[in-house]
């Protein structure tokens, strides 16, 4: 009887530890950077966007450079609802990657991330062709990182 209680206590503690680890912080890694051939960047202001707030990039070196910039960021899980609230409360830059030269509308992108103007980054994918449920969000804001990305792509919006 005592052994069963100890085993039960041990298993209970183990479950709590494992549950705690599932929401813990992790470091963002992208293994398949070479898959990206095109990048579609769009700024969303007040839930709307326009052609003037859009840019398509086909420079493979710059695309791989921006992917390297987000690697190593500390991220944690966030609910989809909270993600939408944060994106609606801020102007958001969408970085949507394609494996071909064109972005096909209506088809799910193989990889994307969102950058809020305050330096918060949101990742709905773990890697190329691997959607993340729930999404990941940076633990700390990286205020200068979005500015560096805008400079890299010569964004004026």
- Sequence-separated (6 or more) residues with CB below 8 Å from residue 60: 36, 37
pLDDT for the residue numbered 123: 96
CA–centroid distance for 62 within its chain: 18
pLDDT for the residue numbered 60: 94
Tokens linked to 61: 């070196």
Per-residue pLDDT at 43 exceeds 80:
yes
User: What global pTM score does this model have?
Assistant: 0.81
Mean pLDDT of the 59-70 span? 96
pLDDT for the residue numbered 106: 66
Backbone angles phi, psi at 2, to 5 degrees: -65, -40
pLDDT for the residue numbered 137: 97
- Check if the beta carbon of residue 38 is closer than 8 Å to that of residue 102: yes
Tokens linked to 130: 């691997």
Backbone angles phi, psi at 135, to 5 degrees: -65, 170
pLDDT band per the 50, 70, 90 thresholds, residue 127: confident
More confident residue, 17 or 102: 102
Per-residue pLDDT at 103 exceeds 80:
no
Mean pLDDT of the 72-95 span? 95
- Check if the beta carbon of residue 86 is closer than 8 Å to that of residue 120: yes
Backbone angles phi, psi at 79, to 5 degrees: -70, 155
Mean pLDDT of the 92-118 span? 86
Tokens linked to 59: 């420079």
Query: What residues pair up with 92 in beta bridges, in sequence order?
Result: 44, 116
- Give the neighbor-by-neighbor strand order of the sheet with 38-44: 26-27, 74-77, 130-138, 121-127, 111-116, 92-98, 38-44, 54-57
- Check if the beta carbon of residue 125 is closer than 8 Å to that of residue 66: no
């Amino acid at each position: 009887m005592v052994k069963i209680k100890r085993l039960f206590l041990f298993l209970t503690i183990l479950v709590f530890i494992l549950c705690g680890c599932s929401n813990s912080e992790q470091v963002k890694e992208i293994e398949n950077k070479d898959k990206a051939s095109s990048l579609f960047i769009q700024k969303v202001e007040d839930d709307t966007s326009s052609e003037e707030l859009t840019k398509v990039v086909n420079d493979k070196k710059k695309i791989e450079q921006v992917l390297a910039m987000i690697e190593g960021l500390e991220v944690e899980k966030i609910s989809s609802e909270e993600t939408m609230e944060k994106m609606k409360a801020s102007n958001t830059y969408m970085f949507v990657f394609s494996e071909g030269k064109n972005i096909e509308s209506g088809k799910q992108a193989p990889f994307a991330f969102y950058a809020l103007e305050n330096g918060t980054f949101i990742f709905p994918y773990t890697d190329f062709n691997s959607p993340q449920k729930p999404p990941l969000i940076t633990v700390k804001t990286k205020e200068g990182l979005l500015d560096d990305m805008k400079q890299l792509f010569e964004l004026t919006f």
